[in-house]
Structure 1
Amino acid sequence: MMKATPILLATTMLALPLPVLAQSAAEVAATPDDASGSEAETFGDEIVVTAVPQGTNRLDSSITVSSISADSLVQLAPRTSGELLRNLPGIRVEASGGDGNANISVRGLPVASGGSKFLQLQEDGLPILEFGDITFGNADIFLRADFNVRTVESVRGGSASTFASNSPGGVINFISKTGEQEGGAVQLTAGLNYDEFRLDFDQGGRLSDSLTYHIGGFLRTGDGQREVGYSAVQGGQIRANITKSFDGGGYLRLHAKYLNDRAIAYLPNPVFVAGSDADPDYRDLPNFSINSDTLHSRYIQSALTLDGSNEPARRSIDDGQHPMVASIGLEAKVPLSDDWDLIERFRYADISGDFVAPFPAAAGAAQTLANGLGGPGAQLFYASGPMTGQRIADPATLGGNGLLANVVLFDVDLQSLNNLTNDVRITGSIPLGEQTLAVTGGLYASRQEIVTDWLWTSFVQTVEGDGRSVLVDVRTAAGVPVTQSGVPGYSASFFGNCCRRSYDLDYTTLAPFAQFGLDLDRINLDASVRYDFGEAGGSVAGADLGAAFGPGVVIRDINGDGVIAAPERQVAVIPSRRSPVDYDYDYLSYSAGVNFRVTGAAALFARYSRGGRANADRLTFGPSINPVTGGLVDAGAAVDFVRQLEGGFKYRGDGVSFYATGFWARTEEQNFEATTQRFFNRNYEAKGVELEGRVTRGPFTLSAGGTYTDAEITRDALNPAVVGNRPRRQARFIYQVTPQVDFDAVSFGANVIGTSASYAQDTNELEMPGYAQVNAFVAFRPTDQITVTLNGNNLFGETGITEVEEGAIPANGIVRARSITGRTISAAVRFGF
């Protein structure tokens, strides 16, 4: 096995002293606070800093890039980071999971499971996590957009393949303020029709002629966007950086972050579907709204289970998505000569937390589901809430709709997702006749831990809104209990007792890369290459590996009352025998492009790229790894490749900008989805066009973007019947439109996010209708320092289905789905200084 860890440590130790010895200065060209990277403020030179060797003008680069400014973050008032990212052209975001757990893709690349497999989320040029789709540890869970953010910049395709590992589809980079602009702000925000209160703050400026700083963060508390009857969102974040600049253009920046924030995780909920698969009509169930309610409840706030050591533990459902991050890092530019610079980025992040949320394995008539557990004539009793212990005399009226849900509690202890990342590069130029050849060479190194325990259990509950759902006990017709406090088994009993697992993995990445660029007057040529060497090590444990690794279910008195109840005969444990994971992989990524500056305001470009994405924890427990040796059964399973061709037109001038990009992509994918327990091994092809534009005339601004995608499954080794179908949840057209009017004392505008119809599953039967979500804002500035803002999110309460577990309408008409959240209105007062 390749011993990459010592190399990683040596690289880090070598890189760290360099900025200090060189006494470098602020890289103003790449990260100035007053260059927003957004045309909201200027149509002059727009500098791109993401997935490029160094800052470059957008019209001179053969990549597709878009950005969102800090001002837009305030005006759009997205409730989550996922909602914010929907405003980036070409980015498809299923922003229905709360403050994290969004499924994010780009330009038709698939979302076969969860997270952002082919797209990397970054903060200041380094990944939040090395892999964006760690099971129950998606990268966006550990990200919070607040006043610290200066610009959100996205690069689709292109150089993302060679300037970042594991991100062939693109990179979205959250770029921080660094104190170049003096001042700050404090903002108080309150939900007017939902229970959440938030305090945001930031402050930045100069401590001396050569020293700048910035600090900011937020605190919040409340139910969240949907009423649950308890404080489901609570916590905050603080981030800070300080920059020392030096003569000669160098700088040294230190930065730190602390995040500890509980946020509810919204998983699929029951909804009724009338009509046909091809023309469905999604309707709220009585007493339960798909876009305003959730199965979370004030009466179901904890669960008894076994922890990772097989000891009894009571887990808090209130934890939801609970990221805890403490990180520290540095960024530096070291001038080596007039033509050469060394740029260093380093970060260590201590990451842990929890992911706890109820997932309905089935929903249906209360008596029917009870009979499935207790046999014909089963009796029902309240097991939590104000009527605990009482018999349910008429199950047909239970909860106002006569429904029950068999729930599997996705309970994951994220013990460690710690990562160490380092990117060091040298950039410069070499005379080449009358021209100059730009050269960049660098080395990226990272180590990503994945130490998690899956502690799933099950229970039966009513389907009620407003946080009033309760647990239900089931007894046989003869009165023999088959559940205990609503629990039919201390396991994922509705999933065949699967998924009691333990992961103790680490992934080391070492990637040298190089780029060459040649500027021939109006023609810019560039080519880049990256070679990733990876090492996967550690072990996993779970009965899902097979009987040889031990029993997954035992009999145990889990509540310690001295009596073995029926559910205590189904207690899931993590077997003591572990399966090793021990393999290496390597792969080559490359990209080449040409950009032709037709005029000072217009350019044409084209680019071809191939990039790889290493598969991480989702590859374990599957057929690709030998459970005895830990080696690969199929060497090709370690890495999936994306090949992309893109080209287009760019224009910017006289208050107008327009960008059009045609694209084609071919994708390989091997994956695992936890909710369905399915593995995927297939290829995809996608082609389409991406449009983005902006017009400013006096106080009026109109921004718009749209992406048309024709995607197809071209090969499936496990289910050939879906070949030729459109990938699930892939709409042909997604769009964003934002009109805005700005006067001295008042601004107002709207933001429309829309999508056409798509299929719920790869079988292409049940459709998810298209929808348009309308957001709006009005801001009033009585003085230069005070701004009062009113924001409406999903102003017309649109039901926007983003995910359906079923591929066709079942006999009872009830499917499990996720929808965007209904109407939420907030008011904020901002004090600037």
Structure 2
Amino acid sequence: MRKYLLLFTAAPFALVSPAVAATAASGQQTSEDSAETSVEKAPEKEVFSTGVAKGRDRLDSATSTSSLRAGEIEKFGARSLAEILRNIPGIRAEAVNEGNSSYSIRGLPLASSGAKFLQFQEDGLPVLEFGDMSYVSSDLFLRADFNLGAVEAIRGGSASTFASNSPGGLINFISKTGDVEGGAVQVTKGLDYGENRVDFDYGSKISDTLRFHIGGFYRSGEGPREAGYTAWKGGQVKFNVTKQFEGGYVRLYAKLLDDRTPAYLQAPVGVSGTDSDPDFKSLANFDIKKDSLLSRNITNVIGLDGDNTLYRDDARDGMHAVSKTIGLETQFDVAGWSISEKFRYADNRAQILQNFPASIAPAAALAFSLGGPGARLSYATGPNAGQAITDPASINGNGLLSLSLLQNFKFNSADNVTNDIRASRVWDIAGGDFTTTAGFYKSRQSLDADWLFASIITDVRGDGDAALIDVTSANGVRQTQGGYFAYSAVPVTTGYRRKYDVEYDVSGPYASINFHKGKIAVGGSIRYDIGKVNGSLYGSELGAGRVGITAFDINQNGVISAAESRTGILPLTSPAPVDYDYDYVSYSAGINFRIAEPLAVFARYSRGGRAAADRILFTSAVSPVDGSLTDPKNAYDAVKQSELGLKFRKSDFTVNVTGFLADTGERNLQINTAANGAVQVERIIRKYQAKGVEFEGGYRRGPFSLTAGATYTDAEIKDDEFNPTVIGHRPRHQANFIFQATPQVSTDMFTVGANFVGTTSSYAQDSNQLKLPGYTLVSAFLQFRPTERVQLSLNANNLFDKTAFVEVTQAAIPASGIVTARALNGRTISTSLRFAF
């Protein structure tokens, strides 16, 4: 029966004539054995295909590249995509969440969240056109499982010209395609945290020219932090089928992702000492490594939706991402030209429910600020609901309350349609290979979203037991309703309730030439990006009498309470248009000299652009009258990079060293604190410069192997249009030195090793006051293979349970000694049993 089902699935490929497709195998190998990593014995030739015109041996290419294969990724014990990517040299990953994490590369600025100057690709096409769209970044729709064959990364170089909006680099997640037959099933259990997970995959030949691969995962559990409920729930399934011809192939693939994960945002932590030498400590009853402000007692999300009608959601849904994807990829020859065509349609949507602490204060002080002198506190939810808090100073042993923004971001559509077609030909000129490539890229990125806010009061307690708190004025007037102070972002702001529906249409013709003769390879590429942006915006920040706050009877009892008088509403009858075009040119040129068989040096200069996405909406960059850009410079940011590198490869030893210099323009929004300590969203227009050197190497001798990487970066803010006091400062979160290393011993029966990742200190904010301490995290792994097809694994992530901060909102230590911060997860230990077949 299975055979007939597979033949039915593959039947459409029989219609493709072998005469049309006539070149070699897939230009993008995807089996476990296809992507080289320095852990393995280095081959005589390493072919790298991401972000270049044509796959070439890395020693013949003037690019800085890395790759991780599936077998090595499995050992890291990563609990998220970001924990995998922090093992690639040059990449800084703030690995807190599974989805909506933040990434940067080679010192390029991380002014906000997401990955502005990096593009995440899946099988050679972007997951989203822009990697830093507010609250919906590319990794939200990506998961690592047994489908993943390899991860390829190119830093700088031709990434600027072989993809749009990727001047910093490309990270390509390459799927298995069934060229290695067989499969596996693995069951994983968290030993000291809540995770139950099943992974599977299987690939096989249907005939000599037809093969398929299918795989996926499902998981559920509380996750690595206490939430008080099942915060991780969902999975994905991916499938592809490939028809191979004498000189080419055609592949059809599909993906269904439906996954819920929690959003671990900033949380309170105590800090003493000095800004230059701070001492961070977890608060009583709240461990910054293992707790969050998520709770079984804070589940009801209520207010007016994007159509100004009453809605009710469940905060336990967290970050719920759904992606339904279909795609086609083919490669063939026509009249001596190698043609490749890639198309994908992704139906993406998501809902992000998260708890952002806007203010942490002593309970009595917060009661006074919201309810006036003599204000009283009581529990609104939880086992103590209705009880008065008679001693606010001792509540939970820390005496603190949080005024939080309960954020509900509904992305009704983040659909992405992408097509990339290119043609290459190799000409024999003067005894050398002259390669010409021309291509055309087309994409449409939709962004239809509602931003809904509520202000709530909670206590500060871990173990998933935090509760909503009511505030009542001395005269008996309740200022909250079930712990809600407002069904809007009041008192933080009367704005930030938004609705928008915008489409980004991107066209990108590109071309390249490369001449390779003997030891010399020289080439260049160029790209012309053309963008059209159209849509509508709704929000009180757009001015012209637009109202953002109204009174609404949320509980339908016929009486307007104080909280209900602060209900957010959208001015749906007063939209503002978005209507502008842009264009820019990117280029790259490099030369590679292969001094000897194992040794090469290269130099490259590139200029790439990153078009502005939704970060400039609702700002003065876009006119609310006609939707045009108020300044053409607001359309995109440019990155100029120079690189000088050396590569060495022997059978048991590899080393790559690259020096870099990058000048970057930046227009963005940044969450930080104002001079009075209040959280704010600040618009920035800046110029940055980063220079440094990155190292990547590997060594193998007998059963022992070592891979290592390190990046030294000297970054500086060179100019700031609004705040010249930060000129000359180091950008926030930017460490001078980041590193990773994985030593291991492997035999037929077992593999044992450790994964080290670390960073030196950085600054919490661009004012360069409060320092974030450096850290080194150690994760250990053990794989035991009692028989050929059975493997038992043990992974300990953050083995020594170290505290590692990646973000602090405050620029300096406040008088209260309390800041809000995000720390990496504490120790988590899991075990897995895997059966191969």
Query: Is this contact kept in 2: 1:549–1:575, CA < 8 A?
Result: no
Q: Does 1:564 align with 2:560?
A: yes
Alignment of 1:314-393 (within 5 A): 314-337=312-335, 339-393=336-390
Residue 542 of structure 2, aligned match among 542, 545, 557: 545
- Aligned positions, number: 813
1:654, distance to aligned residue in structure 2 (A): 3.1
The superposition leaves residues 177-230 of structure 1 with CA deviations (integer Å, 9 ceiling, x where unpaired) of: 000001110000010000110000000021110001110000000111111111
Residue of structure 1 in register with 2:54 after alignment: 54
Contact in 1 for aligned 2:431/2:517 (Cα 8 Å)? no
Q: What SS class does the counterpart of residue 812 from structure 2 fall into?
A: coil
What code does the residue aligned with 1:560 have?
Q
How do residues 206-285 of structure 1 correspond to structure 2 at under 5 angstroms?
Answer: 206-247=205-246, 249-285=247-283
Query: CA offset at residue 533 of structure 1?
Result: 0.4
Map 1:134-149; keep pairs closer than 5 Å. 134-149=133-148
From 484, 500, 504, give the equivalent of 1:503: 500
TM-score in terms of structure 1 length: 0.96
Residue 520 of structure 2 is matched in structure 1 by 523
Q: Which residue of 2 aligns with 1:289?
A: 287
- Aligned counterpart, 1:801: 805
- Whole-angstrom distance in 2 between the partners of 1:387 and 1:439: 72
Aligned to 1:8: none
Say whether 1:308 aligns with 2:312: no
Return the letter of the residue paired with 1:593.
G
Q: Is the 8 A contact 2:332 2:338 kept in 1?
A: yes
Deviations 1:304-349 (A, max 9, x none): 1111101111122112111100000010001113x32110000000
Deviations 1:728-759 (A, max 9, x none): 00000000011000011111000011000000
Gaps of at least 5 residues in structure 2 are: 1-14, 673-679
Instruction: Identify the match of residue 815 of structure 2 among 811, 816, 820.
Output: 811
> Could you say what the CA RMSD is over the residues aligned between the two structures, in angstroms?
1.3
Distance 2:93 2:19 in 1: 44
Following superposition, the deviation at residue 470 of structure 1 comes to 0.2
Matches of 2:509 and 2:475, distance apart in 1: 70
Q: C-alpha separation between the residues in 2 aligned to 1:32 and 1:747?
A: 24
- Describe the SS at the equivalent of 1:677: strand
SS in 2 for 1:534: strand
Matched, 1:112 2:116: no
Displacement of 1:26 after TM fit? 6.6
Match status 1:720 vs 2:724: yes
Which residue of 2 is the match for residue 88 of structure 1? 88
Q: In the alignment, is the contact (CA less than 8 A) between 2:317 and 2:353 conserved in 1?
A: yes
Paired with 1:658 and 1:136, the residues of 2 have a C-alpha distance of 38
2:570 maps to what in 1? Answer: 574
Q: How many Å apart are 1:37 and its aligned residue?
A: 2.6
The match for 1:769 is 773
- Counterpart in the other structure of 2:690: 686
Match of 1:403 among 389, 400, 404: 400
Aligned residue for 2:485, secondary structure, equals coil
Specify the alignment match of 2:11 in structure 1.
none
C-alpha distance in structure 1 between counterparts of 2:262 and 2:23, whole Å: 42
CA distance in structure 2 between the aligned counterparts of 1:49 and 1:408, rounded to whole angstroms: 44
Question: What is the DSSP-based 3-state SS (H/G/I as helix, E as strand, rest coil) of the residue aligned with 1:625?
Answer: coil
1:465-476 superposed matches below 5 A = 465-476=462-473
2:662 aligns with one of 665, 674, 679: 665
What CA distance in whole angstroms lies between the structure 2 residues aligned with 1:703 and 1:194?
A: 29
Match of 1:778 in 2: 782
Structure 1 portions without partners, runs of 5+: 1-16
Q: Distance in 2 between matches of 1:364 and 1:550?
A: 33
The 8 Å contact of residues 528 and 590 in structure 1, kept in 2 or not, is answered as yes
Instruction: Label 1:700 to 1:549 Cα distance change in 2 as closer, same or farther (>3 A).
Output: farther
| Equivalence for 1:9 | none
Partner of 1:698: 702
Partner of 2:65: 65
Q: Tell me which amino acid in the other structure corresponds to 1:829.
A: L
Contact 1:26–1:244 (8 Å) recurs in 2: no
1:12 aligned partner = none
Shift of 1:645: 0.1
Residues 1:20 and 1:665: Cα distance change in structure 2 (over 3 Å): farther
Conservation of the 8 A alpha-carbon contact between 1:589 and 1:611: yes
Residue pair 2:323, 2:346 contacting (<8 A) in 1 also? yes
- Residue 491 of structure 1 deviates from its aligned partner by 0.4
Letter in 1 for 2:292: T
CA deviation vs aligned residue, 1:260-313 (integer Å, no higher than 9, x gap)? 000001000000001011100110000001111000000111211111101111
What is the aligned counterpart of 1:606 among 581, 603, 606? 603
**What is the letter of the counterpart of residue 334 of structure 1?**
F
The residue type equivalent to 1:531 in the other structure is Y
Q: Does 1:826 align with 2:824?
A: no
SS of the residue corresponding to residue 682 of structure 1 reads strand
| TM-score of the superposed pair, with normalisation by structure 2 | 0.96
Deviation for aligned residue 1:400: 2.7
Deviation at 1:559, TM superposition (A): 1.7
Conservation of the 8 A alpha-carbon contact between 1:357 and 1:409:
yes
Give, in angstroms, the shift of residue 30 of structure 1. 2.8
The letter for the 1-side match of 2:376 is: Q
Cα distance in 2, alignment partners of residues 549 and 674 from structure 1: 27
Q: Which residue of 2 aligns with 1:749?
A: 753
Contact 2:30 2:175 in 1 (8 A): no
Partner of 2:6: none
Q: Which residue of 2 aligns with 1:624?
A: 621
1:603-659: CA deviation from partner (whole Å, max 9, x where unpaired): 000100000000011111111111101001110111100000001110010300001
Q: Measure how far apart 1:432 and its partner are.
A: 2.5
In structure 1, give the amino acid aligned to 2:331.
K
Distance 1:415 1:678 in 2: 27
SS in 1 for 2:157: coil
Distance in 1, Cα, partners of 2:545 & 2:263: 32
Distance 1:482 1:32, change over 3 A: closer
1:4-83 residue pairs with structure 2 within 5 A?
22-23=20-21, 27-33=25-31, 34-44=33-43, 45-83=45-83
Mapped contact 1:26–1:243 kept (Cα < 8 A):
no
Matches within 5 A, 1:160-199: 160-199=159-198
Asked if the contact 1:542/1:549 (under 8 Å) is kept, the reply is: no
2: CA distance, partners of 1:101 / 1:549: 34
Task: State the partner residue of 1:790.
Answer: 794
Which amino acid is the alignment partner of residue 88 of structure 1?
I
Query: Residue 152 of structure 1: CA displacement?
Result: 0.5
3-state secondary structure, aligned to 2:161: helix
2: CA distance, partners of 1:32 / 1:462: 50
Structure 1 residue 536 displacement after superposition: 0.6
CA distance in structure 1 between the aligned counterparts of 2:529 and 2:518, rounded to whole angstroms:
34
The residue identity in structure 2 corresponding to 1:135 is S
Counting only pairs closer than 5 Å after superposition, residues 121-140 of structure 1 correspond to structure 2 as 121-140=120-139
| Cα displacement string for residues 503-540 of structure 1 (whole angstroms, at most 9, x for unaligned residues) | 10000000000010000210100100000000010011
C-alpha displacement of 1:549: 4.9
Identity rate of aligned residues, in percent?
Answer: 49
Does the 8 Å CA contact 2:39/2:706 hold for their aligned counterparts? no
Query: 1:24 Cα shift?
Result: 5.4
- Per-residue displacement from partner, 1:68-106 (whole Å, max 9, x unpaired)? 11001211120000010000000011111x201111000
Q: Aligned with 2:361: secondary structure?
A: strand
Q: How much does 1:40 deviate?
A: 2.7
- Letter of the structure 2 residue corresponding to residue 366 of structure 1: A
